[in-house]
Structure 1
């Protein structure tokens, strides 16, 4: 099967599975990149000509010549792997050559999380009287209590916020729905935002819960501007202020406070537990804190 044709079939199938366009773009970018390498360097125009050494050579080139990070090399590997295995499963090709390629090693990176002082500074950067300030503080509260993604936060519908039942419906990757419980303080923040939103007269009426001053949905650009403004006003240095860092902060705090990785997987909307396990990487100080709280000897008063 020709390389280009195989990609067309694969991407069509993924769109049929309602995979997000961001994921489709990821598959397309890396597989096309591999195809260009296979054609120009290896002279391989179809899957019958692709060998394990071609894929290994491509991955090595990414690290040595392009000098991309190990995580990026692994991204390329996963994209080619997904395509190759799909083609084999659908009987478009007779063998799965990627199974002969060892997955590239990834350096373990402990995700950056916000400190308590940084969180306090960001809360302090939100106006307590303006609509935008209360909205921003409410979004931060929801992020800290749930760790939802930026697209999920922006995509919340007004009808999906149920304060009486104490949960909120979000739409994750592949448009998968999940219900998230609301913390008591999060409910209070949402109630305050609701009151202010109800009093404001918008020129536009949107079905979305978080809106701008005109009443329209917050897009990616406006969300990025909000976090940029919060960072500038809070005086935070070094840390990236984004929904993703808040997501890391929620996940790490959840585990440090005694939450289990299985319920965290459900809360974050991860389909693979291995993705959630990244948050189990603790630094030395965090390990010491956990040890002091949970080591069996110091928690058995009867021993001495």
Structure 2
């Protein structure tokens, strides 16, 4: 790498590249930037002048420091990917040897299965609220749409009025990498949305003027944190004593679809997964659930 190009300048060029050419999401860009800045601190502490000074032994040492911090294997694997991507960029742009991190193995991920709701738990969730107040209508529509479509919370909060075709039962969402996809939803979500859009949302808007479908009690677009607050409140009301995160509804959608006979390619497309391997994890959930049910109920298990 030419001496005039400082590591900070390399980082700036790389961030511009993944933002403009790779079209990564703002969250992914932030994670990459933080991972690389952390790596730069390591370079400084080890007295390494620039990226071209790093050899395989230093790359291994860096991974060791990550383990020493008590980070999970998944986090360490992501950090390796971030730096490997940076070196691949530098190899193409500046001719830097990228062997140090290209040859580095990824730590094996823990086999941690996604948490999901059982159908009886969801039935309890769907039964909370009076079903009449604007807040209750919103909460019901929000819950129904998350479970009916398996969309991410970031996708939910970005949905605008023009993205929903309630007559056809289809919603358009903008997924990772600015990829659009159209997802069908059923009669329960359709009915909940109709009631919310006709009665609940107009009441909550309080003369605000925007197109976001889901709003908070002040009429502003609801945030991902606001969705978590809504779901936690519904969990308490339903007396379900579990920790919840909104992604559990996405996990539940996928798990229940596969359990009831949906093919994996269809579920992959509905979830917006670019790799089938991301969807396959849900087959492990359904198999584990079947095994536990068998062991708990069969007389000679």
Confirm or deny a common fold (TM above 0.5): yes
Rounded Cα–Cα distance in structure 2 between residues aligned with 1:288 and 1:83? 43
Three-state SS of the structure 2 residue aligned to 1:247 is: helix
Rounded Cα–Cα distance in structure 1 between residues aligned with 2:293 and 2:95? 51
Label 1:290 to 1:187 Cα distance change in 2 as closer, same or farther (>3 A): farther
Q: What value does the CA root-mean-square deviation take over the aligned residues?
A: 2.2
Corresponding pairs, count: 288
Match of 2:25 among 17, 20, 33: 20
Label 1:67 to 1:264 Cα distance change in 2 as closer, same or farther (>3 A): same
Who is 2:187 aligned against?
A: 184
Cα deviation, residue 109, structure 1: 0.5
Rounded Cα–Cα distance in structure 2 between residues aligned with 1:199 and 1:90? 53
On the 8 A contact 2:7/2:50 being kept in 1, the answer is yes
2:273 pairs with 1:234: no
Unaligned 5+ runs, structure 1: 292-304
Rounded Cα–Cα distance in structure 2 between residues aligned with 1:275 and 1:6? 32
2:42 pairs with 1:37: yes
Three-state SS of the structure 1 residue aligned to 2:168 is: coil
Match of 2:159 among 153, 156, 159: 156
Rounded Cα–Cα distance in structure 2 between residues aligned with 1:101 and 1:199? 56
TM-score, normalised relative to structure 2: 0.87
2:11 pairs with 1:7: yes
Deviations 1:18-61 (A, max 9, x none): 322111110011111122112203x2221221112222221222
Rounded Cα–Cα distance in structure 1 between residues aligned with 2:40 and 2:242? 38
Deviations 1:150-191 (A, max 9, x none): 111011000110112321111112322111112232222222
Three-state SS of the structure 2 residue aligned to 1:279 is: helix
Three-state SS of the structure 1 residue aligned to 2:183 is: strand
Unaligned 5+ runs, structure 2: 295-301
Rounded Cα–Cα distance in structure 1 between residues aligned with 2:231 and 2:286? 26
Label 1:85 to 1:278 Cα distance change in 2 as closer, same or farther (>3 A): farther
TM-score, normalised relative to structure 1: 0.86
Cα deviation, residue 206, structure 1: 1.9
On the 8 A contact 2:259/2:286 being kept in 1, the answer is no
2:286 pairs with 1:259: no
Cα deviation, residue 81, structure 1: 1.7
Cα deviation, residue 214, structure 1: 3.6
Rounded Cα–Cα distance in structure 2 between residues aligned with 1:45 and 1:270? 39
2:142 pairs with 1:170: no
Three-state SS of the structure 2 residue aligned to 1:90 is: helix
Label 1:69 to 1:197 Cα distance change in 2 as closer, same or farther (>3 A): same
Rounded Cα–Cα distance in structure 2 between residues aligned with 1:14 and 1:158? 30
